[in-house]
Amino acid sequence: MKRYDNYYFLGIGGIGMSAIARYFNHAGYSVSGYDRTPSPLTAQLESEGIAIHYEDRPDLIPQDVEKTFVIYTPAIPEDLGEFREVLRRGYPICKRSRALGEIARGQKCLAISGTHGKTTTSTLLAHILTDSGEGCNAFLGGISKNYGTNLLLSANKVLVAEADEFDRSFLQLFPDIAVITATDADHLDIYSDHRHVLEAFGEFASQVSAEGSLIIKKGVEVPLEKVSAKVYRYSFDKPCDFYAGEITPLEGGYFDFTLVHPAGRIPHCKVGVPGWVNVENAVAASAVALLHGVDPGALRQALASFSGVKRRFDIHVNTPRCAYIDDYAHHPNEIRAAIGSIRNIFPGRRICGIFQPHLYTRTRDFAEDFADALSGLDELIMLPIYPARELPIEGVCSEMILDKVKGPEKMLVQKDQLMQTLRSREIDCLVTFGAGDIDRFIQPIEDYLKTIC
């Protein structure tokens, strides 16, 4: 990629966009951008010297067209004044996915894809490479709790990338080693149906180097007709190329297990965050690390020291009186897995879930499946839909899900009434779900619960 003096980001507060902004800022370029609303992430970017504004102000775009490169997220609206101005004046421009693809060129690319599980798996892989002393450049879809950032930098020409299927972004990557964790129907506003989702994952799989490796979760459907890489399978506990054997449950939802792989066995592994789902993620990350050449002893040590990812099964309060977990889950299967892990870690507790649906299209397409997953709670508090990039769809609302939920006590609450609602209830085990702005409630909820626990 040709280098420019200025890099300007439209939608700089997105988790993927912010990692690339940090990359160019760290390299010494002038970085600035626009986002719709301030957030803890944009505040952190500003503290690192990146200028950000929150109004649609075309006059704040760097004026030198020849020396300014614009990177945008497809989540921004097409009628955004700044976007239209950039196109009108002819700035060099590309999507976030293309920018990441260009950065990845010339490096050994280790890519983690899948409709869920990719953020924790890629962050754990990046931690394994960093903790082992090898180092890597990592562009993550969440904030690593070990390092407090979504960007890791190293002189080592190895790049760990979260390969996002949204808008077919992952097709900009040509990995040396890749993982596919899941291929559920999702982003149907982009793909229209599950068949097209599978086709896109098949195309991504075909882009893995012929001398490389493709690691797919056992049971996950992926078209492999065009794949020339060596294919491996991984699982939580089902025998295959990479899996966890001799699993022993430990207190607090942790597990001791033997990591079984084609070249042998690594006994007494333990992941530093609880939940069987994280053991499964660890098997996937370990498969990449071992095929890449990481020493088994260093791998075992790194698994144990992994602190997790913010907003990925993130336990904020854990006392005998009450517990609070926050999770980014915004797909029915993610919610099911999270509830299953909570019941494993906190057996016998009464679970109250707060769920903010993300996108009108996802609510419309998966209302019944969401209702089935949320029926696994003891109590449900629903928030209105977070629209993100979408305009409202007539007849689509949170009640589409709420009305179909069976069993638990349930209610719809407006965001400005949420804290008051919680203060009026007896809290045993609370969990927040969603990919929207529900994260703004994490600290207030934690602060409140700590006063009653």
Q: Are residues 156 and 77 in the same domain?
A: no
Residue 1 lies in a domain: no
pTM: 0.91
Residue 101 lies in a domain: no
Residue 68 lies in a domain: yes
Q: Are residues 150 and 284 in the same domain?
A: yes
Radius of gyration of the chain (CA): 22
Q: Is 55 exposed, middle or buried (0-12, 13-18, 19+ CB in 10 A)?
A: exposed
Distances, alpha carbon 184 to alpha carbons 170, 221, 406, in Å? 16, 9, 23
Distance CA 218, CA 201 (A): 15
Residue 435 lies in a domain: yes
Q: Are residues 238 and 342 in the same domain?
A: no
Q: Among 66, 94, 122, give the residue marking a domain's end.
A: 94
Phi-psi region of 260 (alpha: psi -120 to 50; beta: other; left: phi over 0): beta
Q: Are residues 292 and 211 in the same domain?
A: yes
CATH (domain of 144): 3.40.1190.10
pLDDT of residue 192: 84
Residue 299 lies in a domain: yes
Q: Are residues 40 and 126 in the same domain?
A: no
Distance CA 308, CA 290 (A): 20
Q: Among 94, 126, 148, give the residue marking a domain's end.
A: 94
Q: Are residues 143 and 258 in the same domain?
A: yes
Q: Are residues 88 and 130 in the same domain?
A: no
* Phi, psi (rounded to 5 degrees) for 236: -65, -55
pLDDT of residue 190: 79
Residue 345 lies in a domain: yes
Q: Among 47, 63, 94, give the residue marking a domain's end.
A: 94
Local confidence pLDDT in tens for the 453 residues of the chain: 688 999 999 999 999 999 999 999 999 999 999 999 898 899 999 999 999 999 999 999 999 999 999 999 988 988 999 999 999 999 999 999 999 999 999 999 999 999 989 999 999 999 999 999 999 999 999 999 999 999 999 999 999 999 999 889 999 999 999 999 999 888 777 788 999 999 999 999 999 999 999 999 999 999 999 999 999 999 999 999 999 999 999 998 999 999 999 999 999 999 999 999 999 999 999 999 999 999 999 999 999 999 999 999 999 999 999 999 999 999 999 999 999 999 989 999 999 999 999 999 999 999 999 999 999 999 999 999 999 878 899 999 999 999 999 977 999 999 999 999 999 999 999 999 999 999 999 999 999 999 998
Q: Are residues 301 and 322 in the same domain?
A: no
Domain count of the fold of the chain = 3
* Residues of the domain holding 428: 314-452
Q: Are residues 194 and 78 in the same domain?
A: no
Distance CA 219, CA 9 (A): 39
CATH (domain of 333): 3.90.190.20
Q: Report the b/e string of 226-255 with b at 16+ CB within 10 A.
A: ebebeebbbbbbeebbbbbeeeeeeeebbb
Residue 374 lies in a domain: yes
pLDDT of residue 343: 94
Q: Are residues 240 and 377 in the same domain?
A: no
Residue 12 lies in a domain: yes
CATH (domain of 66): 3.40.50.720
Q: Are residues 319 and 298 in the same domain?
A: no
Q: Are residues 394 and 377 in the same domain?
A: yes
pLDDT of residue 321: 93
Distances, alpha carbon 220 to alpha carbons 21, 175, 214, 234, in Å? 34, 19, 13, 10
Is 202 within 8 Å of 223 (Cβ atoms)? yes
